[in-house]
Amino acid sequence: MSEVGFVFSLSRLWHVAGGQVILILAGLALIFVDIWLSTKHKANEGTIMGWLTIFALMATLGHLVFREWSLHDIVFMGVFSAEKFSVFVSCIVLMAGILASLMSIGYLRNNGLARGEYFILLIFAVYGTIALVQSVDLLMMFIALEVMSLAIYILAAFLKGDQKSQEGALKYFLLGSFGSAFFLFGLALLFGLTGSVNLTVLAKTLSVGIFEQPAVLVALGMIMAGLFFKMALVPFHMWTPDVYEGSPAVITGFMATAVKAGAFGVFVKLLFVTFTPILSLSGQPEFFTTVNLASLGAYWKPVLWWLALLTMFFGNLIAVSQENVKRMLAYSSVAHAGYMALGILAANAEGRMGVLFYLFSYTLMNLGAFGVLYILDGKERGAQTLEDYRGLGFKYPTLSFLMSLFLVAMAGLPPTAGFIGKFYVFSAAIKEGYLLLAALGVLTSVIGAYYYLRVIYMMYMKDAVREITPGPVAAPTVIALVITALGIIYFGILPEGLARIATIAQQSLAFVF
Amino acid sequence: MDFYFWLFATMAVCAGIFTIAARDPLPSALGLLTVFIACAALYLHLHAPLIAIFQVTIYAGAILVLVVFVIMLLTSPDERLSLLQANMSYRIMGVVLGACIIGLLAAGTKGLINIVGSKALPDGFGSPARFGDLFYRNYLLHFEVASVLLLVALIGGIYLAKKNL
């Protein structure tokens, strides 16, 4: 049990949160490596740092996956948990981190910005996201959320001479702090009501009767608002377009995938462990009373219903009128958040599995699209408008084909993983009786198909109006693009394996104690 | 009547009024310092010695030094502040916002009293030893991760602020 687990032991720390330890040590070591590199090997600084980062992230991934087989502890000091759900989401985050680092090597070279700080911040951003996903303690969630956000704010502002990057980062920082403050207020209310910040203890204490107090609803609302901000659900999405357009392209891809995965993962964990009766399924007698928590669903479900609808509609409708492809992808990522919210709303096993599958496949296609985008761009903001994409299909056939593949996947057409993800989420929602919402959701994805396919139309059916100069294609980026493209097609044709792992992962939520 | 409380409460309120009424920014900052110290004394009175120590070291020490630095660097000796004070709409807005905050605080205090009521404090409440025990036992990991947060902020601050790295 979590209360008695407050004994510090290094071996248990290594078992449960070993991935985080590796990341912190790697981040600290890279600071010194970078100092050495910048005096001795200035020319290759970006490349060497990039590969070292990839190595560290791979080691973390290996540790997490390997530990899952020989796991005998789940919760460490009532703060971190390593059940399969957290590990699954952590793997998505690490995958996004690895792909982003691979692409960053080429991106930084194209922009003449090969600086070691970039990769150090990227490692700490991944660290913060994993700590966020693994925590089962509201206070630790807040601190990890801040580690993640702070690293991302700085990465968003990484193009120092660029006004849009600076503007976007400042907006993100101000609005992000506001969102975090909401989360913190919710946390304080819950702590004041129950005297604990641990998710399972909270569930137990709330279910005894406190959950009927209006203050609990206020706290839940505030925590949800704080997380919705990171997930970019409408009406908390205002920062998204400016930040996504301003940030370095690869960082935008990382933000849209890893940060979203982290926020969704922690929201699912928080919502289902503390505010729904999932723990009553665990077989532990002390959690039997948590069945009561089902009555809270009457409050959060309508809210999520409307938010999912608004997010799907606004994201897709506004994306239609965008001329800048990067900005269009920003609105599309808002729309995708809406589909994932649908899976959470369904609140059944298949819905949670759908969300996990969706996050996984979305990470592949979104990072792939941003990878192609930065190459076509040449230098940041070189060629991002729809006009620039005219007639690219015949001049750069491979890049155009890859872009088309990623866009088709985002539009949710078979035989890509994007289709399967949408299928799982919608079918889960229909099973729970949200027929109207699912129908409207399918309608919005038709709107989505219009603006995704318009880019493909521009590339293949129109003649070029101006010459664009794509940057050189770096070898690591090729690796990343091949992985993402193959992944999208593989999981589009054979989704059962991943779906089975995701199903087991979401079941493990009932055993976080 | 609690002599100790009234002494420092009066001191805090008077210094607060002086802070907003002063014509020059620097005496105003000194007024703020007095508010912080008076508050620290009140915390001590409320059996929260650790909060009092933090109040003196962090607010009266670090933050006030920062405020004074900013005043020294940014404001020219006379004009600016008085210019703002002369603006009528600022004054009206200040009165309205101030009244709102007083109202909120009063309502909050009322709510707090309703929830908490009057309870006897647990043994060793607020002592630095008890705090340290909790902090380095139950909240050890939070403390460590917070240090990572500061490290990230440090790296980012240096990268963003320095012109030629």
Residue A3, pLDDT score: 45
pLDDT in tens, A1-22: 344 446 778 888 888 888 999 9
Please provide the size of chain B in residues.
165
B158 pLDDT exceeds 80? yes
pLDDT in tens, A416-448: 999 999 999 999 999 998 999 999 999 999 999
Q: Which residues of B touch A (CB under 8 A)?
A: 115, 137-142, 145-146, 148-149, 151-153, 155-156, 159-160, 165
Residue A2, pLDDT score: 40
CA distance linking residue A104 with residue A90, whole number of Å: 20
pLDDT in tens, A112-137: 887 888 999 999 999 999 999 999 99
Average pLDDT over residues A161-175: 91
Residue A4, pLDDT score: 46
Residue B118, pLDDT score: 72
Sorting pLDDT into bands at 50, 70 and 90, what band is A278? confident
CA distance linking residue A429 with residue A406, whole number of Å: 25
Average pLDDT, chain A: 89
Alpha helices in A278-416, H assignment, sequence order: 297-320, 325-346, 349-377, 392-395, 397-411
d(CA B157, nearest CA chain A) in Å: 8
d(CA A24, nearest CA chain B) in Å: 8
ipTM of this predicted structure:
0.89
Burial of B64 (0-12, 13-18, 19+ CB in 10 A): middle
CB < 8 Å to A158, chain B: 159
Alpha helices in A195-284, H assignment, sequence order: 199-207, 214-231, 240-246, 249-254, 260-274
What is the signed CA dihedral for B69, B70, B76, B79, rounded to 10 degrees? -120
B132 pLDDT exceeds 50? yes
Find the closest chain A residue to B157 by CA distance: A154
CA distance linking residue A5 with residue A76, whole number of Å: 7
Nearest to B142 among A31, A139, A192 (CB): A139
CA distance linking residue A471 with residue A118, whole number of Å: 20
CB contact under 8 A, B145 and A131: yes
Of A4-18, A162-176, A284-298, which one has max mean pLDDT? A162-176
DSSP string, A221-238: HHHHHHHHHHHT-TTS-T
Nearest to A347 by CA among A291, A435, A282, A276: A276
pLDDT in tens, A492-502: 999 999 999 99
Average pLDDT over residues A464-485: 88
Residue A286, pLDDT score: 78
Helices and strands, number each (H, E), in chain B: 8, 0
CA distance linking residue B29 with residue B77, whole number of Å: 14
Assigned token pair, B41: 């004394």
Tell how far CA A395 is from the center of its chain: 34
Assigned token pair, B80: 């600016």
Task: Measure Cα distances from A237 to A16, A310, A313, A359, B39 in Å.
Answer: 34, 11, 13, 18, 40
What's the longest Cα–Cα distance across chain A?
A: 70
d(CA B133, nearest CA chain A) in Å: 12
pLDDT in tens, A307-366: 999 999 999 999 998 889 999 999 999 999 999 999 999 888 899 999 999 999 999 999
* Residue type for position A6: F
Is A136's Cβ below 8 Å from some Cβ in B?
no
Residue B1, pLDDT score: 63
Within a 10 A sphere around the Cβ of B123, how many other Cβ atoms? 7
Identify the residue among A150, A155, A247 best suited for mutation to test binding to B, counting B beta carbons within 10 A and taking the highest.
A150
Q: Which sequence spans correspond to the domains of chain B?
A: 1-79, 87-122, 127-165
pTM for this predicted structure: 0.89
CATH of domain B1-79: 1.20.120.1200
Average pLDDT over residues A125-152: 94
Average pLDDT over residues B122-133: 80
Tell how far CA A278 is from the center of its chain: 24
CB contact under 8 A, B156 and A8: no
CA distance linking residue A375 with residue A449, whole number of Å: 24
B80 pLDDT exceeds 70? no
Q: What is the DSSP letter of A258?
A: I
Residue A424, pLDDT score: 93
Q: Half-sphere exposure of A486 toward its Cβ, with a 13 Å CA cutoff?
A: 6
Nearest to A117 among B140, B153, B159 (CB): B159
Is A140's Cβ below 8 Å from some Cβ in B?
yes
CB contact under 8 A, A79 and B151: no
Residue A128, pLDDT score: 95
CA distance linking residue A250 with residue A114, whole number of Å: 14
